[in-house]
Amino acid sequence: MGKQRKTWSTDVKEAIVLSVLRGELGVAEAARQHGANESLIHSWKTQFLEAGRARLSGDRPDQGMTTLERENDRLKRIVAEKELELDIARKVRRL
C-alpha cells in the first residue's frame, strides 16, 4: 500500500512559514525538521504572502460574502432604485 498523506494544521503551517520568513530556518531545514516536502513549504509561503498582499490592497472578507455576492447585492440595489424611479414617473404622468 502507498504512504498515507500527512495533514497539517493551520497553526503548524503558519509556524513553519513564519520561521522561514524570519530567517530562523531555511526551507530545506524546515522541511527536514518537520518531515515535509520543500515544495510544500514554498507553496504555503506563497499562499501566506498572497493572502497578506490581498489584505494590504484593501480586500476584506465581508462575513463570508464573496466578491460576486457583493456585486450581486449592489446590482439588486441599483435595480430596485430604478424600479422606484420608474414607478414615480408613471404616477406623475397619470396626474
Question: Residue 66: what pLDDT?
Answer: 78
Q: How confident is the model at residue 75 (pLDDT cuts 50, 70, 90)?
A: very high
**Which H or E element spans position 77?**
helix 67-94
Question: Residue 29: what pLDDT?
Answer: 96
Q: What is the pLDDT of residues 78-93, one digit of tens each?
A: 999 999 888 888 888 8
Domain boundaries, the chain: 1-60, 62-95
SS3 sequence, the chain? CCCCCCCCCHHHHHHHHHHHHCCCCCHHHHHHHHCCCHHHHHHHHHHHHHHHHHHHCCCCCECCECHHHHHHHHHHHHHHHHHHHHHHHHHHHHC
For Cα atoms 94, 75, 77, give the angle at the middle one, nearest 5 degrees.
Answer: 55
pLDDT at 64 over 60: yes
Tell me, yes or no, if the pTM score tops 0.85.
no
